[in-house]
Chains A and B, each alone.
Chain A
């Protein structure tokens, strides 16, 4: 799968650029445990390696997150998806889309890439079963035209996982 899911975006605003540079510096000084930022010179798209936490279903597994920032970040949430192959998880669709409220309705500029990563890892770690969401096939079919997960109307039904 190619990572074509990021629609053609407008360049980052000055404010977004400035904020992301600060987040990147902070990340380099104090990276969240279990994550590695793959260094590129593209500030607008970060690719981050996630290592499953020891003692969880995803121990010794490694996945890749792709984070795309909108022009008016942090007024809008970044788009965060797993690159193929996405981990088997009840809230992660096979196309990499993640059902997690802070990525959509509950986003706030008080959050950072780093805090999102920690939330995602915690979501993985608390999973008790490795399986796709029940509506995976239907959802993935609907997204076939490369739709962004930010255009999905999400129902956040389960806050246990």
Chain B
């Protein structure tokens, strides 16, 4: 059942109230695609800092009886206040309020991006509240900033060589009471971990470690290598004085090529080519045994 001309008059009226200048895209009469959706529109708004934000509004068949669906690149969406008398401009008003509420969250994220060694910065969306931070010594921290309370103690996980992770966790737990909501997140993190955190350029180029066997950061892109094709070193020697990084694939190839390697079930036992300390790698999985 196609929408009536009266519906469009009604819709244009509503857009007029919001302001045509915000409208980027409008798709009317999507009944051919889906019975449920009458219209789909993309609107763009700027927050107080001038940053543009896209809002997608979907009007269903029984609009305006039921509230429109909205989606946007935000960590959480507000619960829409909607009644029979509500109009699109009310939705927009609520979205704008949400944007202002989120300013502190975004500035916290911005602060992290600007001061710390964030991994994969390019892929970060505004909605993402997690980010992975390189702490040096092959260890990483995954923090999840609470969008509703960005200054409070974030959830956190550590990755890297066991000994390093253990020590980071110990410091993190010991200093939990030191977290001060009125201090910047970087100050707080440095205090919690009792160390200077590496800056944004760390790890991106110079610090990115080559595999100790093939001397490359990334394995060749080759369908024969399956999931490991093009991947970075994923195994680090546990010996704290060595810490050499390898592709587990290279390590496996090396261990398979010498006669002193022992195998037990699917694990190869041998020694690190650099420090000769014992190492263990799985035979056919794409990952090393290091967590």
Contact = CB atoms under 8 A, between A and B. Distances in A.
Interface of A: 14-15, 18-19, 22-23, 72, 74-76, 108-110
8 contacts: A18-B216, A18-B220, A19-B216, A23-B215, A72-B253, A75-B253, A75-B257, A108-B273
Interface of B: 210, 212-216, 219-220, 222, 250, 253-254, 257, 273-274
A15 B274 contact: no
Contacts of B222: 14
Contacts of B210: 22
B170 to A, nearest CB: 32
B257 A76 contact: yes
B257 A72 contact: yes
A18 B211 CA distance: 12
B273 to A, nearest CB: 4
A72 B253 CA distance: 9
Nearest to A22: B215
Q: Sort A-B residue pairs by CB-CB distance and give the 4 closest, nearest first.
A: A108-B273, A110-B273, A109-B213, A14-B220
Nearest to B216: A18
A18 B214 contact: yes
A75 B216 CA distance: 15
Given A19-B213, A19-B215, A22-B210, 20 more contacts: A14-B220, A15-B214, A15-B216, A15-B250, A18-B216, A19-B216, A72-B253, A72-B257, A74-B214, A74-B254, A75-B254, A75-B257, A76-B257, A108-B273, A108-B274, A109-B254, A109-B273, A110-B212, A110-B273, A110-B274
Nearest to A109: B213
Contacts of A15: 214, 216, 219-220, 250
Contacts of B257: 72, 75-76
Contact of A74 (B213, B219, B220, B274): B213
A80 B118 CA distance: 45
A15 B246 CA distance: 13
A109 B210 CA distance: 13
A74 B274 CA distance: 13
Contacts of A19: 213-216
Nearest to B221: A14
Nearest to B271: A108
Contacts of B219: 15
A10 to B, nearest CB: 15
B153 to A, nearest CB: 43
Contacts of B213: 19, 74-75, 109
B132 to A, nearest CB: 27
A149 to B, nearest CB: 18
Contacts of A18: 214-216, 220
